[in-house]
Structure 1
Amino acid sequence: MNTPNPPKRFSMIREFHLADWFTLGNAFCGVGALFSVMSYLETGDILHIHFACALVLAALVFDVLDGRIARWRQKSSAMGRELDSLADVISFGVAPAIIAYGCGMQGLYDRIVLAYFVACGVSRLARYNVTAETLSEGTGKVKYFEGTPIPTSIVLVGLLAVAGAMGAVREHLWFGKVLIGGFTLHPLVLLFAASGSLMISRIKIPKF
């Protein structure tokens, strides 16, 4: 009687495609941005905020390249898709929120809004992962996004980079602050609330 062969052991390195290494570059830049914000909070040197914003931009470049490389080589995998989502959460969800925190959006309401923004990004990516096959209509290619893609947070990061260059951080943040029930809200943080809400909306964005 023949015994069935044991299932082949999963090898993460062998399963990696070229595009996946670019995805890891995306995550690497996102984590680097977090470290840069920590350095800013410790030293007060605004250069670290600029580094953080530049690293998010670099993450976007890696994010664009990994998709193009996957299509060029016609190689993709479920693991690659999961890697892409996890990297995007770090670079375009957590990193922009932490940059905003470092720039001075540190009130209680600010933190709630920034946490909401990250949660929306996570939810947006999860929805895409479970609906991509349906949205592709059997063609294997998604024709449109539901909700704005999480990398659009680069617009907010660019805005914070400009604020940093103009010295409009911490107590000099644009639009100042308001006290509600004894807790602080910086109106600028509402841009993150709007961005998060657009990510989880049903608005259709063509995918090119």
Structure 2
Amino acid sequence: MLSLLPSLITLSSAFCGFDAVRRSASARSDEDLQRAALLVLVAMVLDTLDGRVARMTRTQSAFGRELDSLADLVSFGVAPAVLVYQGSLHRLGLAGVLGAFVFTACGAIRLARFNVLAMRDAGRAGPPPRFIVGLPVTGAAGILVAIVMTGGAAGGPLGGAGAAPAVLAAMLVASLLMVSTIRFRSFKDLRFDTRAALLIAFALGSSALVSARWAPGFVVAWLTGAYVLLGVVESLWRLPRTMPRFRARDEEEIEPQRHRGHRGRESREERM
């Protein structure tokens, strides 16, 4: 029975995504869109729990990974796209339809790539990876949920009719980040130490400040934006090390050390 618990949590996340699609498709007011957005947020919490429960109970499996990906496609690929389309992109006609589909398609590609990389690294021992390639679908869905919730806080459905092109642009940026090679932190290696406590305290304190200063919906925008910005800044910081000129310089610095090591071994052999 314990082995079924992660799968039940995963299916609960999928149900939240399904219900978010249902509510978005039949939305008659901004309140309906807000409820659908909250369901996507609940799915995010459940998606975080299922992996941790599987690791705690040592019930990780290939079946669970595939089920999690299918649930993620529903909750974070289809549901946010339908939500934003119903709230704003329908005003753009075919461009809005294509924009919503591009988001869903990029989410599917992101999940498929994750599964391929996970299968390749399945036999390797070691701690969980610190970084993952491409923006997670949960992060991309968070961007769209933040748009919906901040749009409602601004006094209208996604900020009104004039905001539709900006919403489409934001959706396309989120789609590109999912299929990009930018590395984002997974936080799977996070341990409950002083550093983690300070990070959690900062997240909670800043979220409370944003909520008190503006509205609770802006907390999602703040946390999602900070996560995306952190990944982009860290990738730009590491970019020079990936350029051929810097790699060649590093090799030139390493090569003399190798020669010194060889000479050291040769001298020891001569003494022997």
Q: Same fold (TM over 0.5)?
A: yes
Structure with more contact order per residue of length (Cα contacts < 8 Å, sep ≥ 6)? 1
* CA distance in structure 2 between the partners assigned to 1:151 and 1:53 by the alignment: 13
Report the TM-score, using the length of structure 2 for normalisation.
Answer: 0.62
Quickly say closer, same or farther: Cα 1:141–1:98, change in 2 above 3 A: farther
Match of 1:149 in 2: 136
- Flag structure 1 segments of 5+ consecutive residues without an equivalent: 1-13, 177-185
Match of 1:70 in 2: 54
Match of 1:121 among 107, 110, 113: 107
Match of 2:146 among 152, 155, 158: 158
1:49-96 Cα offsets, whole Å, 9 max, x none, are: 111000000000100000110111111111111110011111111111
Q: Is the 8 A contact 1:104 1:169 kept in 2?
A: yes
Q: Where does 1:61-140 land on structure 2 (aligned, <5 Å)?
A: 61-106=45-90, 107-135=93-121, 138-139=124-125
Report the TM-score, using the length of structure 1 for normalisation.
Answer: 0.80
Quickly say closer, same or farther: Cα 1:200–1:62, change in 2 above 3 A: same
- Flag structure 2 segments of 5+ consecutive residues without an equivalent: 188-272
Q: Which has the larger radius of gyration?
A: 2
Superposed displacement of residue 170, structure 1:
7.2
Q: Is the 8 A contact 1:174 1:188 kept in 2?
A: no
More helix per residue: 2
* CA distance in structure 1 between the partners assigned to 2:74 and 2:150 by the alignment: 22
* CA distance in structure 2 between the partners assigned to 1:175 and 1:38 by the alignment: 20
Aligned-residue sequence identity (percent) comes to: 37
Counterpart of 1:175 in 2: which secondary structure? helix
Q: Is the 8 A contact 2:151 2:158 kept in 1?
A: no
Match of 1:188 in 2: 167
Q: Is the 8 A contact 1:132 1:142 kept in 2?
A: no
Match of 1:51 in 2: 35
Q: Is the 8 A contact 1:135 1:142 kept in 2?
A: no
* CA distance in structure 1 between the partners assigned to 2:57 and 2:123 by the alignment: 22
Q: Is the 8 A contact 2:148 2:158 kept in 1?
A: no
Greater Cα shift, 14-23 or 198-207: 14-23
* CA distance in structure 2 between the partners assigned to 1:104 and 1:75 by the alignment: 41
Q: Is the 8 A contact 2:147 2:167 kept in 1?
A: no
Quickly say closer, same or farther: Cα 1:171–1:55, change in 2 above 3 A: closer
Q: Is the 8 A contact 1:96 1:157 kept in 2?
A: yes
AA of the residue aligned to 1:161: M
Match of 1:30 in 2: 17
